[in-house]
Amino acid sequence: MNKKLIALAVAGVISGYGAAANAADVSGFAVVDYTIADDNSKVAAAGATPAHNTAEGKFGAKGEVDFTASPADGVTVRVDVDLNLDPGNTHSGAEIEQAMFAWSATDSVTVLGGVFNNPIGAEAEDKPEMAFNNHGAVYTALDSQTALDGDNVAGLAVAGAVGPVTLTGAFLNDLGGAHEENSIALIANMSPMAGLDIEVGMATQTENAALATTVTPGGVNTSVGDVTNFNVVYTAVPNLTVGIDYLMADEVLDTAYDLWAGYEIAGTGVTVNARISEVEYSSSDVTTIGVAAFEGVMGPTKLPSGDSETTAFNVTYKIASNLKATLEIESTDVTVFAGSANANTSEDLTTLKFTATF
């Protein structure tokens, strides 16, 4: 669904992929992906087998069906169901991505409740709204901290227009799933000129160390704590999109950022996109925590086992109004932590994805 749901909801609109507000509607998408090559140099612990991408040379498919309805004036209900077919058959099935309502309390104030996409950060969760085949550093960092899959959050949010600014406040379950704890999120969106969108957001989070005696006796803090994010997207020049997404955290993670640009070649259906991403950790925090404990929560499944730099380049071709193909090359270099059992010093990943919407 649209990443800027809250800002749109203030205007009385919850949009899908062509879904009409205030009417029952079914929409969604299907993604067919093929991993062409995954060339990497990995270092494994003594006696261990280096990691291997089981999807290489295989097709996979993912889908989503979104149900949107407005059974009463001013109230919209939405349920998104994710479908997944893993070529390795290790993660196939269906699950709820979002289940939420949006109530237009007044002409300028909207209340949202349930499970919904994280309103912090520029990058959307769903493939039709992504310019790249894989998520960037900021989304991945946020996803590593949210207990729910897909960088989703659960709670209540209130959004309202204050002059040219849309302000949102949210009372959420703790991002990391801490017992009897809550997170507070505050977000401001504004468009000071046509083609320029600015967002500033922050969210609190309980550190794991505070719960060591009740959740993990003797445990250490692997939470990044409170996070602050700002992102800017510029589209004022015809056919050109330029953006930056920048995340800062209190603990463990110093910064994560994505800088990207895309250009649509008029009349051809072709768009070229390029992105530079970087993740930097606090060396002192990681040393205190211990590399093994750090990687157990932060990686290597969600984040690399060291500071990383990633470049991505793709070419997207719009085959039809509801079908596009994206061929992408992504290269990652990681400065590994001493003592890491999952060191990944470099990786070149080439993927092809077809995205169809309905």
Average pLDDT over residues 245-274: 95
Whether pLDDT at 52 is above 70: no
Whether pLDDT at 88 is above 90: no
Contact 322, 356 (CB under 8 A): yes
Check residue 48 and give its pLDDT: 44
Q: Of the spans 53-57, 249-253, 338-342, which averages the highest pLDDT?
A: 249-253
Check residue 177 and give its pLDDT: 83
Higher per-residue pLDDT: 298 or 194:
194
Q: How confident is the model at residue 12 (pLDDT cuts 50, 70, 90)?
A: very low
Q: Maximum Cα–Cα distance for the chain, whole Å?
A: 64
* DSSP states of 299-339: TTTTS-SEEEEEEEEEEEEEEETTEEEEEEEEEEEEEEPTT
Give the amino acid at 104.
S
Could you read off the pLDDT of 135-186 as tens digits, one per residue? 999 999 899 888 888 899 999 999 999 999 999 999 999 998 887 889 999 9
Give the amino acid at 108.
S
Indicate the pTM of the whole model. Answer: 0.87
Check residue 6 and give its pLDDT: 56
Q: What is the mean pLDDT of the chain?
A: 83
CA distance 117 to 245: 17
DSSP H stretches of helix in the chain: 5-10, 137-145, 283-289, 291-298
CA distance 323 to 358: 9
Whether pLDDT at 15 is above 60: no
Domain positions in the chain are: 5-357
Whole-number percent of the chain with pLDDT over 90: 54
Higher per-residue pLDDT: 292 or 29:
29
Least confident residue range of 72-76, 108-112, 197-201, 211-215: 211-215
Angle (nearest 5°) at CA 255 between 252 and 260: 145
What is the 3-state secondary structure of 172-183? Answer: EECCCCCCCCEE
CA distances from 25 to 11, 17, 349 (A): 19, 10, 37
Check residue 191 and give its pLDDT: 94
Q: How confident is the model at residue 222 (pLDDT cuts 50, 70, 90)?
A: low
Relative to beta strand 196-203, strand 93-104 is unpaired
CA distances from 67 to 1, 16, 92 (A): 11, 9, 21
CA distance 307 to 326: 28
Which tokens sit at 324? 């596009």
5-357: CATH number: 2.40.160.10
Higher per-residue pLDDT: 157 or 88:
157
Check residue 223 and give its pLDDT: 75
Check residue 89 and give its pLDDT: 58
Helix (H, G, I), strand (E, B) or coil at 251: coil
Whether pLDDT at 285 is above 90: no
Whose CA is closest to 263, among 224, 315, 318?
A: 315
Contact 215, 208 (CB under 8 A): yes
